[in-house]
């Protein structure tokens, strides 16, 4: 997914929307029922794909239009550090755009971020 041509083809074929829907399904299973390694692996790969898409200015709208940003925000509550990192990196790339930043700010992410900061603070003591 590093190649811009493949990213464009994925968008043209509606693959980004399908990937976003699948990521939502896997994320709901992961967050609701526990950490199966297979789910973790899938989520890590999908979050990194969305990070690659969000890194390109003209493609950020594709990510928000697909609704993937909502699932990425939900994954900020992930217990696996690789899933969390992938979600945060994708959201950070999206947040470089004022329009995407506004869409992210409409979602309930503050509580999850405060929880992460609290846990980090406890680990540092």
CA distance 43 to 6: 20
Q: What is the model's pLDDT at position 66?
A: 96
Q: What is the model's pLDDT at position 83?
A: 95
DSSP for residue 125: -
What is the arithmetic mean of pLDDT over 10-36?
Answer: 93
Query: Per CATH, the architecture of 4-124 is what?
Result: Alpha Horseshoe (1.25)
pLDDT digits (tens, 9 = 90+) for 71-102: 999 999 888 999 999 999 999 999 999 998 88
What are the residue ranges spanned by the domains of the chain? 4-124
CA distance 28 to 102: 24
What is the arithmetic mean of pLDDT over 19-36?
Answer: 93
pLDDT digits (tens, 9 = 90+) for 61-79: 999 999 999 999 999 988 8
């Amino acid at each position: 997914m590093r190649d811009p041509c493949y990213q464009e083809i994925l968008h043209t074929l509606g693959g980004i929307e399908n990937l976003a829907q699948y990521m939502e399904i896997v994320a709901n299973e992961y967050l609701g029922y526990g950490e199966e390694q297979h789910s973790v692996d899938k989520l890590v790969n999908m979050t990194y794909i969305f990070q690659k898409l969000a890194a390109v200015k003209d493609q950020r709208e594709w990510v928000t239009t697909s609704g993937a940003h909502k699932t990425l925000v939900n994954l900020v509550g992930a217990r696996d550090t690789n899933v969390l990192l992938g979600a945060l990196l994708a959201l950070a790339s999206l947040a470089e755009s004022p329009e995407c930043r506004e869409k992210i700010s409409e979602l309930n992410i503050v509580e999850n971020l405060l929880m992460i900061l609290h846990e980090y603070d406890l680990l540092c003591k």
